[in-house]
Structure 1
Amino acid sequence: MVKMVSFPSWSYHFRPWNLADFQKIEMLDHRQKRLQMEPLKLNDMPPSSETLDTLEFRRVVCKGVFYYERSIYIGPRSRSISGVTENGYYVITPLMPIPGDADSVQSPVLVNRGWVPRSWRDKSFEVSQDGEKSSSTDVVPVQQNERSWWGLFRSKKQKAVEAQAPAITYVEVIGVVRGSEKPSVFVPPNDPNSGQWFYVDVPAIAVACGLPKDTLLIEDINENVNPSNPYPVPKDINALIRSSVMPQDHLNYTLTWYSLSAAVTFMAFKRLKPKNSRR
């Protein structure tokens, strides 16, 4: 009897949780409307917190030069391919302005280029370490250098251009403006000193790259992947308007709990109602 009485109150306890989750409908609708807008060019938009609030989930086009040596890997992140799960990482790389090009970004931005397998990251680390051993300039900390690493980047690339013209490759990124992730309690804290990044913290990543905290993060959504060079794998734009539990599922849950609550409450009422005694 106690169980029968306690069940309705227990099930009604879950109603606020289901109803509060209906806010996802408005959130996903907001994202979908922004993603359907025409892409914007970032060549004349300075980074700022107001820009993020205005442009988050807007598609943008930005042109520049990737500074691959400053790439940061976020993970591990799993990816399912034909039913097989493989661990890997998201790779975030600074996109630098092209000197004298008005169509390129005028301030550096961070680009989440997509998912790469663990072997891809490990190989990149080996190349980076070999480069540090062969160049004393690369190992100078940013804090001890009078110039920002952006200036260092430009001077190094200019020297490369003088030696070999194809050394610089300009790219055009089609992406979506994103903010930082909100990690769960099970995700360990980032450790920038050791290069361990478990979740996307845009201001911290920007500082680690020597950029201002308000640097924008663009998530690459380009669908034209070169089969001969499939990595990084850009994020599927449809994933931005999906949730692990969609609002339609929440509606079904709510209707189920309401029905169960009403049915069990009625049964409890009938069971506890005193019967009229015949005289």
Structure 2
Amino acid sequence: MAMGIASISKTLTNAFLLRGSRRIISSSSPSSSSRYSTASAAVLDLPPPVEPNPSPRPQEQPRSGSSWSRWLLFLPGTITFGLGTWQIFRREEKIKVLEHRQRRLALEPMKLNDPSPSEQLDALEFRRVSCKGVFDEDRSIFVGPRSRSISGVTENGFYVVTPLMPIPGDPTSVKSPILVNRGWVPRIWKERSLEASLNTTKQFPDVSAVPKTQESQRGSRWWRFWSKKPQASEVQPLSMDPVEVIGVVRGSENPSIFVPENDPSSGQWFYVDIPAIAATCGLPENDIIYVEDVHENVNPSCPYPVPKDVTALISSSVMPQDHLNYSFTWYTLSAAVTFMAFKRLKQRQTRR
């Protein structure tokens, strides 16, 4: 009987100790937990607990888009390198164009009195020509505004384009009207031209605008007796002196996207459009020649219009040196972004 009571008390004591050891193990590290669980199993004469085997670490699968992302890092460098190479080709083309203009301008002026010069329009561009005729200043067109620096002061003005008409009976004059850009004039020239056109309109009103009642009065004998003939019928054409223009054959201007469209109805011309100017002046739109005056002999008493400088014709908004600077910029940018791409790939390999 005493042996049974002693075994029961030993069992209860061991259970109490096991319960306390589990509380301590729960607040300790995993290594101590396994150690204490083994000790408690030894006290109770139980087999040690079996620890589960750690699951193997899954291997990292290679990303499907990793190869494509590497190539995309080099895309900016490839694009900028291509732009730099394109600027090199543009520079070579610009050099050839400017050399062609220089050779054409170095030739002697050609007499522009061919009966059919329109057949050679394509071959006449940037060719110096000599043309004789009379200016019809009443049909002048002002293109602008165009700025000009005078003694360090910038002044706005216009290019005046005037038709050069043939001289009847003169075999040395032009055979058909041409448009001549006579050069730069101040803004006041356009204002005076507008005032002159308004005064002419007031002085010689349109006969078709006269009311019918007045026309009926003019039909009577009494009215015809006292009335005078319209002054417009008495106006004689102005005597104009013949001029000889030495200029360069040019084509229409190609305006940028920032230049507004021409408005012939209001007399606003922002760029040279040869067919539109010819139509406004009442000249044939097709096969008309446009010449820019480059004659250096200017009348001291009237320095305007100021002809264009010949050196301005062999220049461009983007010169070959500018193309070279652009190519250097693109190549430098290409080298920079390519170096950054290599550095990025190296950091990825180091992390792995």
Same fold by TM-score greater than 0.5: yes
What amino acid is aligned across from residue 14 of structure 1 in structure 2? L
Structure 2 partner of 1:196: 268
After superposition, residues 173-212 of structure 1 pair within 5 angstroms as 173-212=245-284
Which secondary structure state, in structure 1, belongs to the residue aligned with residue 261 of structure 2? coil
After superposition, residues 252-263 of structure 1 pair within 5 angstroms as 252-262=325-335
What amino acid is aligned across from residue 192 of structure 1 in structure 2? P
Q: Could you tell me how far 1:181 is from its partner in structure 2?
A: 0.6
Cα distance in 2 for partners of 1:26, 1:139 equals 57
Residues 1:35 and 2:102 aligned together: no
Cα distance in 1 for partners of 2:348, 2:143 equals 67
CA shift digits 1:37-56 (9 cap, x unpaired):
111011115342x4221100
Could you tell me which runs of 5 or more consecutive residues in structure 2 were left unpaired when the two chains were aligned. 1-69, 210-232
After superposition, residues 169-248 of structure 1 pair within 5 angstroms as 169-213=241-285, 214-248=287-321
Identity %: 63
Which secondary structure state, in structure 2, belongs to the residue aligned with residue 54 of structure 1? helix
Q: Could you tell me how far 1:111 is from its partner in structure 2?
A: 0.3
Larger radius of gyration between Structure 1 and Structure 2: 2
Cα distance in 1 for partners of 2:130, 2:336 equals 55
Structure 2 partner of 1:44: 114
Cα distance in 2 for partners of 1:98, 1:138 equals 30
CA contact (8 A) 2:85 2:327 kept: no
Which secondary structure state, in structure 2, belongs to the residue aligned with residue 105 of structure 1? coil
Cα distance in 1 for partners of 2:349, 2:302 equals 82
CA contact (8 A) 1:88 1:116 kept: yes
Could you tell me which runs of 5 or more consecutive residues in structure 1 were left unpaired when the two chains were aligned. 141-155, 162-166
CA shift digits 1:220-265 (9 cap, x unpaired):
0011112321111111111011112210231233134324533653
Superposed CA RMSD: 3.0
Cα distance in 2 for partners of 1:262, 1:252 equals 16
TM-score, with structure 1 as normaliser:
0.80
CA shift digits 1:29-87 (9 cap, x unpaired):
11111111111011115342x42211000000000000000101111111122222211
What amino acid is aligned across from residue 249 of structure 1 in structure 2? D
Which secondary structure state, in structure 1, belongs to the residue aligned with residue 169 of structure 2? coil
Cα distance in 1 for partners of 2:321, 2:293 equals 28
CA contact (8 A) 1:47 1:215 kept: no
Q: Whose helix proportion is higher, 1 or 2?
A: 2
Residues 1:100 and 2:172 aligned together: no
Structure 1 partner of 2:198: 129
Cα distance in 2 for partners of 1:275, 1:160 equals 87
